[in-house]
Amino acid sequence: MAEKKNILTYEGLKALEDELQDLKLNKRQQVAIKIREAREQGDLSENAEYDAAKDEQRDIELRIEEIDKILKNAIVVDEEDVDPDAISIGCTVTLKDIEFDEEMVYKIVGSTEADCLNGKISNESPVGIALIGSKEGDKIEVETPSGEMVQYEIISITRTTSE
């Protein structure tokens, strides 16, 4: 079975590459020191520091493996290949909830980067699906998990430029 492709923005790609480098160059070395220091304390069978360091080492290696897998299957959205007037991955969108007359700002990202607490929504989320391809001034309708329909008006679209 083919692995899922991970859609990333340039910003998301850079963040994952930076995290991977930090894990490989810094965190691995730090945990190796912790393990060595814990071993020097003697009996490992009841050494909580040793157990904690080994757990941390396992977590680091799992995260490295996870990031490697994400990067291996990454597709980076190129701003040159998208309609500059329509919403696509990488855009920051200001929406107005028509019913409550409230504005909200979201950045559309791939599911790997999604973080709703920081205003990053997935292109695969109900709102993300409704937004992709829409233009400034459009009104969209999104079905909530409870089955209600919510209407939004697209106030503005901004693009972050890649380096």
pLDDT in tens, 104-138: 999 999 988 999 899 999 999 999 999 999 999 99
Class for the domain spanning 79-159: alpha beta
Q: What pTM was estimated for this model as a whole?
A: 0.74
pLDDT tens per residue across span 61-96: 999 999 999 999 898 887 666 677 889 998 999 999
The answer regarding whether domain 6-76 maps to CATH 3.40.50.720 reads no
Among 10-14, 71-75, 158-162, which stretch is predicted with the lowest mean pLDDT? 158-162
- In terms of pLDDT, which residue wins out, 39 or 153? 153
pLDDT at res. 2: 61
Close Cβ partners of 66 (under 8 Å, ≥ 6 residues apart): none
In 3D, which of 6, 24, 3 has the Cα closest to residue 112?
6
Could you tell me the residue ranges of all domains in the chain? Answer: 6-76, 79-159
Instruction: Kindly indicate the confidence band of residue 19, based on its pLDDT and cuts at 50, 70 and 90.
Output: very high
Sort 33 into a burial class: Cβ within 10 Å, 0-12 / 13-18 / 19+.
exposed
